[in-house]
Amino acid sequence: MTVAGARVVDSADVAATARIGDGSSVWHLAQVREDAVLGRDCIIGRGAYVGTGVRMGDACKLQNYALVYEPAVLEDGVFVGPAAVFTNDHYPRSITPDGDLKRGDDWDAVGVTCRTGASIGARAVCIAPVTIGRWAMVAAGSVVTKDVPDFALVAGVPAKRIRWVGRAGLPLEQLDERTWRCPSTGDTYIQDDDTLTEESAV
């Protein structure tokens, strides 16, 4: 494994072929599987799981007991709350129709993708394949069954958009029919149907 400049505690289980970026920390009882790649300054909390070949960007945080199954992709700055789960199987079974134990090559894994700055709340479940958009937020305990737009706050079972949020994570204030503003940063956003875009990018 490549861990130069990273902190991996003795009780963590990091595969020899995993790559851990500079400044990253892998804490007690966490497991990072074969060929997983973590960027710089990531934090893998106690008991968290990073599946085989999972790709994580810089400054990602997996809180305690988060389970990120392959082939998930997390871009920079993604937050995954405690005990959140990313699934990877459409039709999970332990055995084949003939009663034989299923093996790794008996099914096709599908993954969850989290775009830059996205946050997943505690005990949320993301049902692959879904994409969580840039700076979006999934409320604690939600079950995500379809793609989440950029800057959307989704909640419930199944999760639905209930608000828009900005980069700071706070709910946006509506200025007019199409314009929203962050109460923290003052940044403004433009809504077009179910899409929200930073005004500077319009």
* Residue-level pLDDT at 3: 66
* Residue-level pLDDT at 2: 61
Distances, alpha carbon 34 to alpha carbons 2, 48, 88, 157, in Å: 12, 15, 16, 33
pTM of the model: 0.94
Token output for 177: 């029919």
Q: With helix as H, strand as E and coil as C, how does 63-75 read?
A: CCCCEECCCCEEC
* Residue-level pLDDT at 156: 98
Domain boundaries, the chain: 7-165, 172-202
**pLDDT under 50 in the chain at which residues?**
none
Provide the 8-state DSSP code for 102: P
53: alpha, beta or left, given left = phi > 0 and alpha = psi -120 to 50?
left
Preceding amide of 183 cis, omega within 30: no
pLDDT of 64-106, one tens digit each? Answer: 999 999 999 999 999 999 999 999 998 889 998 999 998 877 7
* Residue-level pLDDT at 107: 80
CB 20 within 8 A of CB 39: no
Domain 7-165's class? mainly beta
* Residue-level pLDDT at 200: 80
The residue whose two tokens read 């775009």 is 115
* Residue-level pLDDT at 159: 98
Exposure letters 42-53 (e unless 16+ CB within 10 A, then b): bbbbbbbbbbbb
